[in-house]
Amino acid sequence: MKKILSRNEIKKEFKWNIEDLFESDELWQRTYDSTEASFGELEKYAGSLDIKGLYSCLKLRDSISLNVEQLYVYANLRANENSANTLYQELSGKADRLLTLYSKAVAFIEPAILAMDKQELISAMDKELKEYRHYIEDILRSSEHILSADKEEILAQVYEIAQGPSNIFYMLNNADIKFKNAVDSKGEEHTLTHGTYSSCLESKDRELRRSAFNNVYDSYYAQKNTLAAIYSASVKKDVFNANIRNYSSALEAMLFSGNIPTEVYHSLIETVNRHLPLMHRYIRLRKKILGIGDMDMYDIYTPLVDNFDTRKTYEEAKSTVLEALKPLGEKYCNLLEKALNTEGWVDIYENKGKRSGAYSWGAYGCHPFVSLNYDDTVNSMFTLAHEMGHAMHSHYTWDNQPVVYGDYTIFVAEVASTVNEALLMRHLLNTVTDTNEKKYLLNYFMEQFRGTLFRQTMFAEFELETHTMAERGETLTFENMCRLYSELNAKYYGKDINNNEKISWEWARIPHFYTAFYVYQYATGYSAAITLSEKILNENGAEKYIDFLKSGSSKYSIDLLKDAGVDMTKSEPVERAMKVFEGLLDDMEKLTV
């Protein structure tokens, strides 16, 4: 086994330049003290904020929030470098405290805006408040769903109780539920946890896959009535919320915060449904390649291509990614090259105590930071492309937007990362010569489509149906939810796979269902990104796309994507993504006959 180095054994050129954020811990502490003291300046506006004072109040808030964010990010990035370093755990605890104080200090602003004279406010939005127009419009939009002060007071108190279902599920799923060990074809036992379950399902050993699948689902089945009661309570909470706040449905209520029209949701489901024969074709192909006559639900995750082992050093990965992203234009690539080679955005290798996985993060006013645990696999090359997509999105946004629009919403969050992955994939598919490598890449890409576009839409459909049932006053029982899930599963995967009875219990183990109407964004974001990458490659779409990266949250997500060339209220982006999937299927079929 390879030896893991301690952080100070790693060469400086492989680590990020965190000093670009704060030169020293002393400077961090001084900034911390002055930022905390500046909260007092904000308090002067509380209780007397009017339209005249609004601009200077918001400016002050933004400059304070910039400091709070930088302090918070620095402490946490430092803590992530090495969890054994207690100094930075202490700093991140302090940063948490500052963030809480900040949220309290600014809490008066939105209610004050809602209480202002609407006509005067609207006319000021054309003049001195121009910079904040979209921000204020978004606040005003919520006014018809805000209740009288005494009702809001009660709802605020009910909030914690309303978290009940999700908290109970969390405890059951993470603390109490236990799985029997899985047993492989040689009779060896494997410990089953949420973490090891997916690697068991990816195993080449079919007996191990079957055993893991059976043992996990049997544990959930043993709690079936409890699980149905918790999920049913969660759905009722969503319906209650929608009713009391004057929304026409739970779906409308949940999509309201991002101003996403409900037709985006319906159109996704409708379009994916029309293309389900492609999913069925994929399952048939899988069955053929794996050579399994009676394919079952536990045969879906195992890779189609084995013995593929191409090592990619970090240097090779970097130049491949840079080459693949050329369609985004010279400016993008020059910036990216600097970020990778001279500006110290990336922390490349694993060290003792470093946070696992990969992420991109940062704060307005500095460059983004990317943490990897690069391990020379093709997978980690894709991760590099993915995280640099996020980082470049932040960089362009921070360079072009004021603080108030310096972030981006969940709806578009995975677009830039997926576009980069798709461009890298296209580049590799066009250049690799080895058949096995090509099959490996096609499998990798098709699995993304299955997991992100098809599976998340199936989840979305389940959520819509359960909420609609509750809205009609029907009771959600274990039996009727399993019936629904089983029908969906059969519809999505087709006749060439056994619709195992246990899979109808799957809804009972999905944590995301406790944040209703959330997962559809994975499917819409993925479709938007695939369509954008096609437009970049074939229709000179790069310029509009770069404008999208520059725009942060300065408009609603749907409008930002429309400007970039994808209209998510129409079926076209999902249809185009499906065309890409069909092309991959064609290629894979050709390589397997």
Verify binding: residue 394, Zn ion, rule CB under 5 A: no
Determine the interface stretch with Zn ion among 113-121, 144-152, 411-419, 517-525 (rule: CB under 5 A).
Answer: 411-419
Partners of residue 359 on adjacent β-strands: 371
Q: Which stretch binds Zn ion (CB under 5 A): 291-299, 329-337, 342-350, 414-422?
A: 414-422
Name the residue among 200, 24, 13, 36 with its Cα closest to residue 102. Answer: 36
From 86-94, 343-351, 417-425, 535-543, give the range in contact with Zn ion by CB under 5 A: 417-425
Which residue of 383, 417, 457, 466 would you call a contact of Zn ion, by CB under 5 A? 417
Site for Zn ion in 81-140 (CB under 5 A): none
Tell me the closest approach of the beta carbon of residue 391 to Zn ion, in angstroms.
10
In whole angstroms, the minimum distance from the beta carbon of 448 to Zn ion comes to 12
The interface region with Zn ion, picked from 72-80, 93-101, 196-204, 409-417 by CB under 5 A, is 409-417
C-alpha gyration radius of the chain = 25
Which pair of structure tokens corresponds to residue 411?
Answer: 């709806």
Residue 211 or 417 having the CB closest to Zn ion: 417
Q: Among residues 493 and 520, whose Cβ is nearest to Zn ion?
A: 520
Provide the minimum distance between the beta carbon of 522 and Zn ion in the complex, in angstroms, as a whole number: 10
Q: CB-wise, 135 or 359, nearer to Zn ion?
A: 359
> Toward Zn ion, which CB reaches closer, 109 or 385?
385
Nearer to Zn ion, 417 or 504 (CB): 417
Q: Give the residue with the Cβ less far from Zn ion, 80 or 417.
A: 417
Binding segment for Zn ion among 116-124, 415-423, 476-484, 518-526 (CB under 5 A)? Answer: 415-423
What is the set of active-site residues?
387
Please answer whether residues 85 and 354 qualify as being in contact, where contact means their C-beta atoms are separated by less than 8 angstroms.
no
| Min separation Cβ 418 and Zn ion, Å | 8
Cα 448–chain centre separation: 14
Tell how far CA 463 is from the center of its chain. Answer: 18
Binding of Zn ion by 489 (CB under 5 A): no
Per rule CB under 5 A, is residue 211 in the interface with Zn ion? no
Least Å distance, CB 390 to Zn ion, is 6
CB of 22 to Zn ion, least distance (A): 26
Output the six-digit token pair for 448.
């993304």
Single out the segment in contact with Zn ion by CB under 5 A; choices: 304-312, 416-424, 431-439, 551-559.
Answer: 416-424
Q: Which residues pair with 189 in a beta bridge?
A: 183
How far is residue 78's CA from residue 76's CA, in Å, rounded to a whole number?
5
Size of the residue set binding Zn ion (CB under 5 A): 1
Q: What is the tally of helices (H) and strands (E) in the chain?
A: 26, 5
Angle of helix 455-471 versus helix 262-274 axis, rounded to 10: 120
SS3 call for 224 = helix
For the record, the structure tokens of 61 come out as 């808030």
Distance between CA atoms of residues 132 and 401, nearest Å: 11
Nearest to 272 by CA among 486, 534, 507, 520: 520
Helix axes 520-538, 415-431, angle to 10 degrees: 50
Q: How far is the CB of 387 from Zn ion (least distance, A)?
A: 7
Nearer to Zn ion, 240 or 518 (CB): 518
**Which of 348, 349, 335 is CA-nearest to residue 392?**
335
Q: What letters, b where the CB count within 10 A reaches 16 and e where it falls short, cover 225-250? A: ebbbbbbbbbbebbbebbeebebebb
Alpha-carbon span 478 to 230, nearest angstrom: 11
> What helix, strand, coil percent values describe the chain, rounded to 5?
70, 0, 25
Task: Tell me whether residue 335 or residue 358 sits nearer to Zn ion (CB atom).
Answer: 358
For the bound state, the minimum distance from the C-beta of residue 246 to Zn ion, rounded and expressed in Å, comes to: 35
Element (H, E) at 189: strand 189-190
Applying CB under 5 A, the residues found at the interface with Zn ion are 417
